[in-house]
Every structure is written in structure tokens, then in C-alpha cells.
Amino acid sequence: MALTVLIVDDEELIRYGLREWLHEEGFNVLEAPDGATALNLAKEEPDIVLLDFKLPDMDGLTVLQELKNRPGNPVIIMMTGYATVELAVDAMRYGAYHFLTKPWDQEDLANRLQSASELINLRISSEEQRAKQNESYSFDSVIGDSAAMRRIKSQAMKVAQTDATILLTGETGTGKEVFARAIHLASRRQGNEFIAVNCANIPDTLLESELFGYEQGAFTDAKKRKMGRIERAHKGTLFLDEIGDMPLHLQAKILRVLENREIERLGGEKTIDVDVRVIAATHQDLKKLILENRFREDLFYRLNVVPLLIPPVRDRGDDVLLLAKHFIQVLNKLLSRNVKQIEPQAALLMKAYSWPGNVREIDNVIERILILEDIGAISVKNLPEEIRSGSGVAVKGKSNGGFRPIALEDLEKEHILATLKFTNQHKKNAADLLGISRKTLKRKLDSWNIPYTE
């Protein structure tokens, strides 16, 4: 499949030259003379963006950051006539894949495009394969050996044997869908369908007919009769994902399904009996939604028969590394890589990081490292900035961002001592984490009359 390149440059001649050449190389081409047009074209989801730094309406770094927030996640190659080291560092930090100085060497650009294309193809095949793997999640493949995970897994396995309605809650990326599928597979309904409905992804206007189906002629577009997803889940499991996003009028209809186990298709007269096990999930606080009149209290109690709270990764202790190693194994195979281990300092930082995106974030971080680098072991320098800098480190008992009047030197001392404590007094690890040499560390400790022992 031909990949699409978006050229963002205000100079028409440059766009022209690139366009002709890219066409010859077999790419589809989109063009933008300024930042606004580029962001507008982002909805076409280009695979690669060649982005000039100096644009008439905004600077390239802003466009870069914006593009990174849009769906599609294009590979971005920055091009500039005014290269400075700072600029290059900023561009890379904001997620640029490469940085070229104008005038560029055609062969260099060809090579970069070649490796960007490989990267995109790897990404596509890894996504496809993983989607397949996700379909067959059993409890055995739910990774986690922490006390918190062992507890929740054993609860889930027990209720899997019943037909009770389950409400899965937990932060984003904690594995709610993984649990829902594992429960289905462990239940007596496993031979029948597991039907998932994501209430947040389907537009409100379509959600009702998706759930309930319709009879021919129920509305203008209803050419043929269509079975809804609730009906398709008959004798199986219906997974209502992101239930907090379900509009109120549908909440009332779902409540009736739970109470009577029957549905009516839109435009239909007869009631149809359905035998479904319902598992609902949300990352939102339903109690809060109830107070705001956005969620029905009676539905909440109907769903909350068995509440299961999936713990965030930061409460799972060493599971972080277990999960990381699991993803390394999976991705080694998919991407033909041979990463053997995580170096101790990198592992320490990963354990200290708070992982706001939970398991999905671990997966993404490992994937990004393996796609971009062919390495034998993951070291500190491979980790993304937020993990290396410890900016996401969970601070317990302190209000984040609170100001303390403290002299710079005292702060330095406090930080160095905390780092030593964190590494169990391991001087080399501490020095590495602090980004200083062991000699410098020794000099500093000496100056505070703290003995330095290896």
C-alpha cells in the first residue's frame, strides 16, 4: 500500500521538487504552505510529514506538537535552514523522528524515508497481530503477580462461574477489557459470542440501533432488517465498555434489558427474549456522574452487582517489570528484535515512574524503544524523557508543586541523598541517575562531610 507524505513548506519550489520526486518514489503526496493548512490536512492521516521549521503563520515546533496530538501519529521529519543544536534537541524531544538541515542531501532523505516506511509497516503489522492476540485473553495470559493483582484475579475467576452482572472500574489502560474477555472465556458462555460495544466511540445517534437493531423501514435508511448487538450476544456475554458515556435515554432502555431480559428492535412490535451476561466497564466515577445527573442511580445499582476495581500499575509493585518483560518478549518476536534485558538503572526508573497510562503506556514505551532501536538491553538513555527525569514519579504525602523556600545547595544535597537511598547506597547507579560522574558525586559528598564508601 502506498504511503502518504505531507509536505509542509512555504516555498513553492521546494514543494514542487519534493512532490515530483516523491511521486516517482511511489508515495502519495499532500501539500501545505503553512501550519494551519497542515493541521487541517492532518485529518487525512498522512503517514509521514516533512515539516519545515519556519512557517509564515506558526513555528514548526508548534505544528509538530499539535500533530502528535492528532490521530494517526505520523512519522515527522523536520527540515530547517537554521539548524541549532537546541532546535534539534527540542524537535526530538517533541517526538520528531529525524532532523534534516537544508539544503538536504537527496540520498540522506531517501534513506530516512525508507526507514520511516519500514517503521510504519512494522507498526501496522504489530497492531494487527496484537488485535488478534487480544481476542484470546484467558486469565493465564493476564500478567501480574503482585498481591493486588492476585486478589483481583481470584475474585474475577470466581464470579466468572456465575451469571452475575459485573461492573469493572479502573483508570485508563489498566486492563478492564482484558478482564472482561478473560471472564467470558472462563465462564460457561465461552462457546458463544463475546460482543463488545464501546459507548464512547459510537455516535449517540447510531448507538441505539447498534444495540437494539431495527426492522425494515424503521427509519429512512433502514433498507433491511438488522440484528442489534444485544441480540447477537444471546447466550454469550455483552460487554458495555465506557458505560459512563451512554446517553440517558439509552440508560433507561438498558435498565429495562437488565430487569426483563428482553428487547424490542427499533420499529418492531414483538419482544425478543435475550439471555446475556452483562459486563460493564468505565474509567469514570459513576457516583460523581450520578450527582451531576448524568448517570441513572437505578442503573448503577443494577450494574454494580459485583464491582471489580482493577488497580493502577503504580499499586502493583514489581508487576511493572513483569509486564515490561512480557511486552519485550512479544515484540521481540513481532519486530524480529533481540532485546534480552532491562539494565538495573533503567529498571529502577521504570519502577519509580507512576505510569498514568498504566499497562497500555508500558506497552507503548517498550514498543517505541524496540521499533526505533536495535539494541541488546534497554538502558536509561532509551527511556522517554518523562521516565528518565522522574517527573512522573509518584510523590506520596506531599502536595505536588507546593513551593518550599530552600537554598539551591540544600536542595541539591537533599536530592542526592534521596537518590542514594533510592539506589540502596549504590554509588554508580546513583551517579548515573543524577547524570554526574562518580568522581563528582564523591566530591559533593566530601564537601558535606558525608563519608563516601564503595
Ligand X SMILES: Nc1ncnc2c1ncn2[C@@H]1O[C@H](COP(=O)(O)OP(=O)(O)OP(=O)(O)O)[C@@H](O)[C@H]1O
Q: Which residues bind ligand X (CB under 6 A)?
A: 134, 142-144, 170, 172-178, 283, 359-360, 363
Smallest distance, Å, CB 416 to ligand X? 36
**How remote is the C-alpha of 178 from its chain's centroid?**
14
State yes or no: residue 361 binds Mg ion (CB under 5 A): no
CB atoms within 10 A of CB 360: 14
Q: Is 383 helix (H, G, I), strand (E, B) or coil?
A: coil
Smallest distance, Å, CB 311 to ligand X? 10
Smallest distance, Å, CB 328 to ligand X? 12
Inter-residue contact 241 to 204 (CB < 8 Å):
no
Q: Which stretch binds Mg ion (CB under 5 A): 66-74, 169-177, 289-297, 380-388?
A: 169-177
Residue 74 contact among Mg ion, ligand X, none, beta carbon within 5 to 8 Å by kind:
none
State yes or no: residue 245 binds Mg ion (CB under 5 A): no
- Binding characters for Mg ion, 128-167, by CB under 5 A (x = yes): ----------------------------------------
Maximum pairwise Cα distance, the chain: 86
Cell of 248: 440517558
Cell of 308: 471489580
Residue 144 contact among Mg ion, ligand X, none, beta carbon within 5 to 8 Å by kind:
ligand X
The residue nearest Mg ion at its CB is 177
Query: Exposure of 336 by Cβ count < 10 A (0-12 exposed, 13-18 middle, 19+ buried)?
Result: exposed
Smallest distance, Å, CB 177 to Mg ion? 4
Q: Which stretch binds Mg ion (CB under 5 A): 14-22, 174-182, 304-312, 352-360?
A: 174-182
For residue 387, give the amino acid letter: I
Residue 360 contact among ligand X, Mg ion, none, beta carbon within 5 to 8 Å by kind:
ligand X
Select 172 or 338, whichever has its Cβ closest to ligand X: 172
State yes or no: residue 367 binds Mg ion (CB under 5 A): no
| Full DSSP string of 204-256 | HHHHHHHHHEE-TTSSTT--S-EE-HHHHTTTSEEEEETGGGS-HHHHHHHHH
Q: Is 104 helix (H, G, I), strand (E, B) or coil?
A: coil
Smallest distance, Å, CB 322 to ligand X? 9
Select 150 or 235, whichever has its Cβ closest to ligand X: 150
Smallest distance, Å, CB 186 to Mg ion? 19
**Binds Mg ion (CB under 5 A): choice among 9, 31, 52, 177:** 177
State yes or no: residue 9 binds Mg ion (CB under 5 A): no
Select 285 or 409, whichever has its Cβ closest to ligand X: 285
Select 348 or 362, whichever has its Cβ closest to Mg ion: 362
> In angstroms, rounded to a whole number, what is the distance separating the alpha carbons of residues 189 and 285?
29
Smallest distance, Å, CB 42 to ligand X? 22
Smallest distance, Å, CB 129 to ligand X? 12
Taking alpha carbons only, the member of 329, 324, 348, 350 closest to residue 340 is: 329
Smallest distance, Å, CB 231 to ligand X? 24
Secondary element (H or E) of residue 250:
helix 248-260
State yes or no: residue 432 binds Mg ion (CB under 5 A): no
Determine if the peptide bond prior to 103 is cis (ω within 30°): yes
Residue 174 contact among ligand X, Mg ion, none, beta carbon within 5 to 8 Å by kind:
ligand X
Select 52 or 245, whichever has its Cβ closest to Mg ion: 245
Q: What backbone torsions phi and psi does residue 351 show, to the nearest 5 degrees?
A: -70, -30
Cell of 207: 448507538
CB atoms within 10 A of CB 72: 13
Rounded to 10 degrees, the C-alpha dihedral 206/209/211/214 comes to -170
Bridge partners of 279, per DSSP, are 166, 239
State yes or no: residue 47 binds Mg ion (CB under 5 A): no
> In angstroms, rounded to a whole number, what is the distance separating the alpha carbons of residues 373 and 378?
10
Bridge partners of 29, per DSSP, are 5
Bridge partners of 28, per DSSP, are 4
Select 87 or 309, whichever has its Cβ closest to ligand X: 309
**Sheet of 98-101: strands edge to edge?**
28-32, 4-8, 48-52, 75-80, 98-101
Select 23 or 287, whichever has its Cβ closest to ligand X: 287
Select 177 or 361, whichever has its Cβ closest to Mg ion: 177
To the nearest 10 degrees (0 to 180), the angle between helices 106-134 and 176-186 is: 40
Smallest distance, Å, CB 176 to Mg ion? 5
Q: Which stretch binds Mg ion (CB under 5 A): 6-14, 134-142, 170-178, 401-409?
A: 170-178
Which residues sit at the interface with Mg ion, rule CB under 5 A? 177
